[in-house]
Structure 1
């Protein structure tokens, strides 16, 4: 029962403080962290373990100057650390027989004919990383000259590959010689496969088991004919001596053979320091995990070596391996698989190589006559490309950056570089980040590998995740077991109490079994109508409210029920209570200082600032407004709207400019309806000041007036009231009169221009018609002179009359 009460009490406390915590998280992610390990797992946060630190938040941001209130010796703010443990120099050969390279950490290394070939540097580093904070360092790779090569030729010896076997036996020496041109340290091996000796893969009829086809030997799963050896002359002999066999279905047991050739390192003879090539030659598809069930084989492949006297013994006992198993073992043993297959199968194996790390494929001719060129080309492609991989867990994120061989370029996010030649040095920038601390502290220390695909060398990273604080461990000055400050009911860690399961509170002062639930919550609520403990801004501990602290130390939450604060009062211009000179905030209300008042202490309570200076008996707001908070609020009348600091002006009133108009005319320009006597009698309030150009200045609250007089001349002036409330007029010194226009001359000029333009148009028309007529006449004369026949002898001309002769007429009788 007591445990249930304690749980319910804790839930209510959490619910009451949720809104306050959410507000803090928006401003500072460190505030919500209540323990040291939670704090340092948050980027940019540090922890203060000083004992007498009060109720301030111990987790703070050192980058925020206002939050740095903890002495530096009590601050836990670990930094990422890197230490290079092993850094053997890269191996290569130049004219001087030595190599020297910058290793990216300010150091350098050189070598001179070392026996061990090194292509990756450094080889081991020690890192200490905080969660979600990355660290970068450099890794260098070079392709060493004359690097050892182990090539194991794994061949499908089913009946359809008989001609390929014959060709390979003839080309064996050529293959060995071609590879020796690349490296003098070359070893060659040979193995073959058919399929599982189980129905329906192979016929189990006794006769067929002995000779499944003409000139065939009994079938088998995988056989190692020749262990990797420097005596490459044996290769052709072993290939020629190997007999073909036969099976029933089209796919072969190639995956069984690949698995054994990869994991049986001693039997095959793979070397530690060598580039390992497994050439897989076939003209058929492959069986994979699950196909074994057709033959009643349900035991999964265990990925272990099962060779006895070169023969695979578990072919009929275990299922085929899966693609993922093949990929895993290839990665673990740093082997490059080359699929040399015929045209019919190349598309299938092109897809397969994408799922096996470091694999490649090439098209084999029908009789394997191009095997030498294929292996050589594939090796060149493999050796000229470096691709970095790693075995990091989900808690670790690794990014790779490199400019490859482009010395002047910028780093790009990539883990591959191509076109690498012997002696080239490629630098990779490796960025490691702990994305989250694992729940199990055992996983806070991990060892991972970063390695080039197909190379049995790697960078070993010993990673320690900084997920806990030293003061949380026994032996630290800030760690006490069953401490007095925790009332002996908890451990004192990093300045706070970690209470046992039956006690709680800041100092473990509350017992879950002794506190009465009703009385406890009642003491944390102002009345029975309240549903939140401590007004939702604190925690109820043993019937008493402990108010939440604020990130800003000047802001406080206080009161018996945390109902008061000094930061939620009204603001003016962004300042609480208009700033400390006007008032202060107490329990949500402003307490104003004289002479200020109002909800935000922004209202001046005196009327003296509403009277025009220099006037002993001045009216408030010149009698045209009310004084509110020390500022005149001017009134609107039928005449217009009054304005000005003391409502002494009415720019929109019609009689102001009109009132001064005639006096300005008679005093300044000697014009207007006032003669000299009337002007001297009525115009005594001001004397205009002449200026060249009239402009109204806002700082003096000047009003602009402009008129046209009887002479159609424009004059302008401004008026304003000085500090003694007297009118001041500045008038334009000279009127702007329009220039005189000679109207008769303009009319006569327009008429003359019209007549002149008409005559010009007539003359132009006459000229154009004359030119046209002369051109037509000349054209007529030219055509007449060029005529070749006379109109009198026109052959097509016929007379208007016709003449006929009577053939019987003989003349006159």
Structure 2
């Protein structure tokens, strides 16, 4: 037990040391300049020390982890290692006007490194609110419209109790005015309601009726002029209307304050794709199409998707309150789960509770804080750590989230930004959904080195200057020390000559490019050498066999084994002779190939000579028809059997003695006996058969019929006797029981003492005459 514990501890230390050693890795295959180095990975540093590399070494040696460079003799002051930095630009304190801080900052990010900063939020008291009431005016909402007509002042009074400034607007929707959503019959278009006594307006998709206003009377007057309408199917075109309310901000009158959209309905909604039912195939474009306050392209554009609508609501900072009847709560809760900063409330049948519903929903939405940054480039990762007063903290989430945030309560979010690669200057905004304040973040990726090199006399052959420890040559000069005349070629073109292809390293990382030619490194071991135009070859990286390079039977040439005569194979592991495969002058019995002096058998046949096939089916049933044909055509025309005996040499013998013997039945139900020998090659057989067959004797029909009739009669008599015996026993038992019952009778058998004779007797005279 002690040994096991020690082993586990040692293993854990080894694993942890391995993780520690691999935690910081610098991949530097193509890093020959400081800029290329720091772009190779977040743990790559550059040594700008002059003369740091040895003769024949590439400048890529200067690129490695800081720890490795220090171990190679580079001074700490000569190591270039940019780090991520954060600069706050506008960090004003939180107050009733500023709920989010800082207002702006700049991030300088090293690719692969994470920059972290904090964002603070405080929910202000009495923040202004804009509320847009979007109502379903299909016929089933008739009672609700009557109550909403009196809501103007009540809604504003309720909002003004919780905010300093409130505005209210109104719009309505039905559905697309095409079949199968709305009847296009002229009479139905004029009066779509089922009750002809109800005042009804023609159907429409979406109407914007009242701009956001602070006057409750205007709301009451505008809604008071509205009439109910109607359509054919149950789902409504509410998503069309919500999209227009979200994207038509100028026409709706949204202010830069908290924006609430109250969506009141008693039914479901159409989604993207439903427009195909009316041959509307163009996807919704998410653009405002209000003309004269009416959605004009309803019958040309499909319904928006839920994701598209959620994006537009978020972009325009709109929070949604779904005020729906009880039968629709589950449907809209599922929709609310897909739309951030939305809530569902149960609307009474006549909408009488809508004021309280909106008030409660506003409190719920305002107490929920969701930090989001919108859409950013794919190579920029943003995560949040939420520090909530309620204790429901989250770490490394794609959004920051805190619930039950009270008024004047301050909460903190840690934002972690990582650039995966060098990017052009970027910017994005972080905001709390449903609130107007934003944090503007500018991102600059640190992908260039800033080196201050002291001038060195006669450096770079007096044809350049030292930049970050290496030569930056004058025009017309090239090379590591500016030793080459460029001529008509650039430094990049000369370096390209030293690359095997665009993706490989200079001189395959095993040599130095001097004036466009690779000078391969010299190995300490004289038996090992690097060669090739691009130093891509060596004489030791070849396949091993039996622990020996090229099996000891060849030489390694640029990754390929060159075998001596008499040997073959990728590692010279095979002899070219075929002695072990040969038998009776045939290689592998004609059922395989000889590889490395061993048979590689086909079709289930096994080594060493491919003679046997344990997994193959027996050939006996296959050649049964063939043998039967030869037996029946014996002495006549056996040539007719050739087609059913493919690949077989058939011979008649007096007696079959070889084993194993095949026994198969023919059409006469007789047993045939024959022997099959598999010759060399595939599907080649020799068959020996005998004319003798074992046939069963024919049945005696007379005996069978006699035994059958006798059996039927015997069984019938036996059944009759059994039935008679059972009946007799049953009758005797019944009689004995009757006798016992009779003997137990105790009543008197004399006259009944209470019996009296009749006092008067009347005779029918007609009866007497008939009797005479």
- Class of the TM-score when normalised by the shorter of the 2 chains: 0.5 to 0.7
In structure 2, C-alpha distance between the alignment counterparts of 1:469 and 1:547, rounded to whole Å: 39
Distance change in 2, residues 1:91/1:543 (3 Å): closer
Hey, what does 2:410 align to over in structure 1? 425
Note the 1:302-317 alignment, pairs <5 A: 302-317=285-300
* Cα drift, residue 343 of structure 1: 1.3
Hey, what does 1:222 align to over in structure 2? 206
SS of structure 2 residue aligned to 1:293: helix
User: Are 1:137 and 2:117 an aligned pair?
Assistant: yes
SS of structure 2 residue aligned to 1:344: helix
In structure 2, C-alpha distance between the alignment counterparts of 1:200 and 1:331, rounded to whole Å: 32
User: Are 1:195 and 2:161 an aligned pair?
Assistant: no
Q: Which residue, out of 271, 278, 286, partners 1:295?
A: 278
Hey, what does 1:501 align to over in structure 2? 496
In structure 2, C-alpha distance between the alignment counterparts of 1:410 and 1:328, rounded to whole Å: 26
Hey, what does 1:348 align to over in structure 2? 331
User: Are 1:82 and 2:97 an aligned pair?
Assistant: no
Hey, what does 1:70 align to over in structure 2? 74
CA contact (8 A) 1:254 1:287 kept: yes
SS of structure 2 residue aligned to 1:351: helix
User: Are 1:154 and 2:134 an aligned pair?
Assistant: yes
List gaps (5 residues or longer) in structure 1: 1-23, 93-116, 549-560, 564-813
Q: Which residue, out of 30, 34, 45, partners 2:31?
A: 34
In structure 2, C-alpha distance between the alignment counterparts of 1:340 and 1:167, rounded to whole Å: 14
In structure 1, C-alpha distance between the alignment counterparts of 2:206 and 2:466, rounded to whole Å: 62
Q: Choose 1 or 2 for highest CA Rg.
A: 1
SS of structure 2 residue aligned to 1:330: helix
CA contact (8 A) 1:167 1:369 kept: yes
In structure 2, C-alpha distance between the alignment counterparts of 1:499 and 1:87, rounded to whole Å: 52
CA contact (8 A) 2:112 2:421 kept: no
Q: Which residue, out of 170, 177, 180, partners 2:150?
A: 170
Hey, what does 1:52 align to over in structure 2? 51
CA contact (8 A) 1:151 1:278 kept: yes
Note the 1:563-642 alignment, pairs <5 A: none
CA contact (8 A) 2:25 2:44 kept: no
SS of structure 2 residue aligned to 1:454: coil
Instruction: Give me the TM-score of the superposition, normalised by structure 1.
Output: 0.54
In structure 1, C-alpha distance between the alignment counterparts of 2:95 and 2:465, rounded to whole Å: 47
* Cα drift, residue 308 of structure 1: 1.5
Note the 1:167-566 alignment, pairs <5 A: 167-213=147-193, 214=196, 215-272=199-256, 274-391=257-374, 392-405=376-389, 415-434=400-419, 436-437=420-421, 443-469=423-449, 477=467, 479-480=472-473, 484-486=477-479, 487-488=484-485, 499-504=494-499, 505=507, 508-509=513-514, 511=516, 535=529, 541=534
In structure 1, C-alpha distance between the alignment counterparts of 2:314 and 2:379, rounded to whole Å: 21
In structure 2, C-alpha distance between the alignment counterparts of 1:196 and 1:543, rounded to whole Å: 69
Distance change in 2, residues 1:475/1:184 (3 Å): farther
CA contact (8 A) 2:258 2:436 kept: yes
CA contact (8 A) 2:427 2:441 kept: yes
* Cα drift, residue 458 of structure 1: 1.4
Instruction: Give me the TM-score of the superposition, normalised by structure 2.
Output: 0.57
CA contact (8 A) 1:503 1:510 kept: no
Distance change in 2, residues 1:412/1:292 (3 Å): closer
* Superposed CA offset, 1:397-431 (max 9, x none): 22222332269x99856621222222211121222
CA contact (8 A) 1:30 1:61 kept: no
In structure 2, C-alpha distance between the alignment counterparts of 1:48 and 1:373, rounded to whole Å: 69
* Superposed CA offset, 1:441-474 (max 9, x none): xx332112211111122111111122344579x9
CA RMSD of aligned residues (A): 3.9
CA contact (8 A) 2:182 2:231 kept: yes
* Cα drift, residue 298 of structure 1: 1.4
In structure 1, C-alpha distance between the alignment counterparts of 2:66 and 2:489, rounded to whole Å: 24
Distance change in 2, residues 1:547/1:285 (3 Å): same
CA contact (8 A) 1:522 1:543 kept: no
* Cα drift, residue 86 of structure 1: 1.8
In structure 2, C-alpha distance between the alignment counterparts of 1:277 and 1:475, rounded to whole Å: 65
- Residues matched between the structures, number: 482
* Cα drift, residue 522 of structure 1: 14
* Superposed CA offset, 1:151-183 (max 9, x none): 000000011001011111223322221111011
List gaps (5 residues or longer) in structure 2: 1-20, 453-463, 500-506, 542-554, 558-772
SS of structure 2 residue aligned to 1:433: strand
In structure 2, C-alpha distance between the alignment counterparts of 1:335 and 1:410, rounded to whole Å: 25
Distance change in 2, residues 1:125/1:483 (3 Å): farther
* Superposed CA offset, 1:739-758 (max 9, x none): xxxxxxxxxxxxxxxxxxxx
SS of structure 1 residue aligned to 2:370: strand
Hey, what does 1:759 align to over in structure 2? none
Distance change in 2, residues 1:206/1:26 (3 Å): closer
CA contact (8 A) 1:151 1:228 kept: yes
User: Are 1:128 and 2:132 an aligned pair?
Assistant: no
Decide which moves more: 311-320 or 167-176: 167-176
Distance change in 2, residues 1:354/1:200 (3 Å): same
In structure 2, C-alpha distance between the alignment counterparts of 1:332 and 1:460, rounded to whole Å: 15
CA contact (8 A) 2:156 2:214 kept: no
SS of structure 2 residue aligned to 1:345: helix
* Superposed CA offset, 1:5-59 (max 9, x none): xxxxxxxxxxxxxxxxxxx989953565634445324233201244532227111
